[in-house]
Amino acid sequence: MKNTGFKILLSVFLLFSALGRANADEGMWLWMSLNKNYNEMREKGLKLTPDDIYNINHASLKDAVVSLRFCTAEFVSPDGLMFTNHHCAYSAIQEHSSPDHDYLTDGFWAGNRNEELPASGVTASILIRMEDVSNRVLADVNEEMSPVERAKSVQAKMKEIMAEAEEGNDYRTEVKSMLAGNQYLLFVYETYEDVRLVGAPPSSIGKFGGDADNWEWPRHTGDFSVLRVYTAPDGSPAAYSEENIPYKPRKYFPVSLKGVKEGDFSMVMGFPGRTQRYLSSYGIELAQKVSNPARIKARTRILDIIKESMNSSDDLRIKYAARYSQISNYWKYFIGQNEGLERLQVIDGKKAGEKAFQDWADASPERKERYGHLLENMAEVYKTLAGFDLYVQYLNEAVFAPKPMILAYRAKRLDALLKDEDMGEDRMKEAIEKMRGQAESVYEDYDRETERRLLAAGMELFYEGVPHDQISPEIHALHKKFKGDWDKYASYVFRKSFFDSKDEFMAFLDNPGSKKLEKDPFFRIVNYTLDPYFEQIMPKRRAAQSELAELQRLYIEGLMKMYPDKNFYPDANSTPRLTYGNVKGYRPRDAVDYDYFTTMKGIMEKEDPSDPEFVVSPVLKKLYKEKNFGPYAKNGSMHVAFISNNDITGGNSGSPVINGNGELIGIAFDGNWEAMTGDLVFDEQYKRCINVDIRYVLFVIDKFAGAGHIIDELSLVN
């Protein structure tokens, strides 16, 4: 009886969580659609109006929040200065690091603007406006259309709307599907390419705790960095140039020195990456029982190889630092997600919610005709997808782990051009030059032996993990020829391939030939693994995904009719969102009570000179011992991080955490272990957003780094 009662309560919780208003703190809300939430936000402590947050006619908070594509940043000065996370700028820090100038270990602080370093590949996009274009996108759609016909009509309208919005300007636009195609929004951005690194703490601060503390609370990480956006002299977006000037934002955040206390209002604005809160029990089951275990197994092996190389020399540590960090972040996430799905019994809860939907659909002939078949059909589609999932996971996570594989894949287009008798000389030159640029990137942080070991592990994982009837005869033949010794095979590939070194590959591009390319063992692996996918798996998988998309659209349409009074929020999809809540601790286990903040005392308690993840800088220890905290401490205690119950996910890294007055109080950088299910289901009890306290950021910049000129740019509020 107790277990049954729990499942009933859980199913109600999970169902209403998916519907968007399980509690006041759940929901990733569109900036332009806050009127329905406004009273609730005011009750929690918001002092601003919706127009203060989003307005296209005058400066508002939207103008101070920046998309870095995979992270978020915020303007904090009138001269384009931005705060974001240390891990968001990690590639830029690595780019300029070497054993002689090890900014990863030592940190970097530009003494003036001439010393600021280009952050290659980092762009800053600022939202100009968003608009609901659902009626236009769906204008030609009718019920007689097949899913394919509907998709073609929708795509054509989306392209038309984007082209219209881009006419006569340099804006970047996108039309995004919301609520599985029940709504469509246009987003218009202005994107700036010249972004520069201004400052970053050493990894002993910016990555303090490393993998051990990742996704954990209590946290003592100063996960921040400082960037600046530059424009052409006339203020327009431009590529890097010494003539460029700092960007002048329409709005920037004042920085609060007041600190936070439990219960304070907190708001996070940013660009969360992807959630699937409306996923069915069948989708959850696929993730929990098939996809995640494969990802975890593959990433564990890959990370072990990279870590061993990084430990062998400073050169390799720097070369592979960003790559290791990227892979390990979601390796641990997938582990935590599976633990959370099991703990919450999410599959059982989803099934109970689906039964309620089925009962609602069956209660009316009209509803039964439109919605009664959805769940049964979903189950069949997911069976199809599950049959191919291991191939997809091990192909992505294992086979393509070594860098030369990516280059060999990109060479397939070159191969097609070489075989095209009508191909013009200009097209060939363009393709070759493009590959030269791609090769520069691939071989920039490259170690032949590390990549060889990754190939051996990747092939072994693929061969052991994928159903053998899906593996090509050529891969089976290689396994037989090398007697299952994939390490021996990898050595052969690197010995015979011209993809194994930059010089050899560039020499090939000087005189490319299709026959030579097709004989290359790396290129053959690409064909042996991708051809079966493209020819046999992808068509069936795409058909299943297309059918699933239509089923999901109707399912959410039905849910909105089933609960007409609910305020639905769309799943995150890298579009601008706002989430609100309060600063709040939590109790994860019996007799364990987590406070809402951490202090520098915890850094000293965690110090372990023998563990690179818990090294503490002598300078930081001296400042702590002397209590030299400047104006940033509270009652002689230097706060480091705090937690709030804001609803966030990947992409929110670097997001501004804002108080009720619109002042910056922190920078979001992580979620907590107990709520790793967050992308799939909101955990009302445990979900927390981990934020670096803005006062610790200021303390590190000012007292630790001595970069007072950065503090001088800010608008500090007491």
Please tell me the predicted confidence (pLDDT) of residue 2: 39
Q: Label residue 398 left, alpha or beta by phi (over 0 means left) and psi (-120 to 50 means alpha).
A: alpha
Pairs from 379-387 (Cβ < 8 Å, separation ≥ 24): 379/282, 381/282, 381/544, 381/547, 381/548, 381/551, 382/280, 382/282, 382/283, 382/285, 382/286, 382/548, 384/540, 384/541, 384/544, 385/286, 385/541, 385/544, 385/545, 385/548, 386/286, 386/290
The answer to whether the beta carbons of residues 280 and 350 sit under 8 Å apart is: yes
Per-residue pLDDT tens over the stretch 240-265: 999 999 999 999 999 999 999 999 99
pLDDT of 7 over the 60 cut: no
**Nearby residues of 375 by Cβ (< 8 Å), 6 or more positions away:** 280, 354, 357, 358, 555
pTM of the predicted model over 0.85: yes
**In whole angstroms, what is the distance from residue 694 CA to residue 665 CA?**
5
- Following DSSP, what letter does each residue of 167-227 receive, concatenated? TTS--EEEEEEEGGGTEEEEEEEEEE-EEEEEEE--HHHHTTTHHHHTT-SS------EEE
Active-site residue set: 87, 223, 653
Helix pair angle (2-19, 346-362), 10° resolution: 70
Per-residue pLDDT tens over the stretch 307-359: 999 999 999 999 999 899 999 989 999 999 999 999 999 999 999 999 999 99
**In whole angstroms, what is the distance from residue 33 CA to residue 536 CA?**
44
Report the DSSP pairing between strands 656-658 and 265-270.
antiparallel
- Following DSSP, what letter does each residue of 582-637 receive, concatenated? EB--EEEETTEEE-SEEEHHHHHHH--TTSGGG---HHHHHHHHHT--GGG-BTTB
Per-residue pLDDT tens over the stretch 464-479: 999 999 999 999 999 9
Please tell me the predicted confidence (pLDDT) of residue 79: 98
Six-digit token pair at 436? 């030269």
Instruction: Report residue 616: phi and psi, to 5°.
Output: -115, 130
Please tell me the predicted confidence (pLDDT) of residue 421: 76
Percentage, residues of the chain above pLDDT 90? 91
Tell me which amino acid residue 11 is: S
Range with lowest mean pLDDT among 19-23, 125-129, 288-292, 695-699 = 19-23
Instruction: Report residue 209: phi and psi, to 5°.
Output: 100, -25
Range with lowest mean pLDDT among 141-150, 167-176, 361-370 = 141-150
Tell me which amino acid residue 622 is: K
Report the DSSP pairing between strands 65-67 and 124-132.
antiparallel
**Nearby residues of 451 by Cβ (< 8 Å), 6 or more positions away:** 402, 403, 404, 494, 500
Per-residue pLDDT tens over the stretch 397-426: 999 999 999 999 999 999 999 988 777 788
**In whole angstroms, what is the distance from residue 120 CA to residue 102 CA?**
18
Six-digit token pair at 85? 């996370």
pLDDT band at 645 (very low <50, low <70, confident <90, very high): very high
Please tell me the predicted confidence (pLDDT) of residue 160: 97
Please report, for the chain, how many H helices and E strands are present, in that order.
Answer: 28, 23
**Nearby residues of 453 by Cβ (< 8 Å), 6 or more positions away:** 305, 309, 487, 490
Measured CA distances, 667 to 203, 255, 263, 437, 637 (Å): 17, 11, 18, 35, 19
Q: How far is C-alpha 25 from the chain's CA centre?
A: 21
The answer to whether the beta carbons of residues 306 and 320 sit under 8 Å apart is: yes
Residue whose pair of structure tokens reads 């372990």 in the numeric block: 608
Please tell me the predicted confidence (pLDDT) of residue 427: 87
The answer to whether the beta carbons of residues 398 and 298 sit under 8 Å apart is: yes
Six-digit token pair at 701? 């910049």
**In whole angstroms, what is the distance from residue 714 CA to residue 708 CA?**
10
**In whole angstroms, what is the distance from residue 64 CA to residue 690 CA?**
21
pLDDT of 552 over the 60 cut: yes
Average pLDDT value for residue range 666-677: 95
**In whole angstroms, what is the distance from residue 116 CA to residue 372 CA?**
60
Tell me which amino acid residue 14 is: L
Six-digit token pair at 130? 């968003």
**In whole angstroms, what is the distance from residue 447 CA to residue 319 CA?**
8
**Nearby residues of 550 by Cβ (< 8 Å), 6 or more positions away:** 147, 150
Measured CA distances, 604 to 318, 420, 482, 638 (Å): 26, 65, 53, 12
Please tell me the predicted confidence (pLDDT) of residue 13: 47
689 strand-pairing partners? 644, 671
For the chain, the average pLDDT equals 94
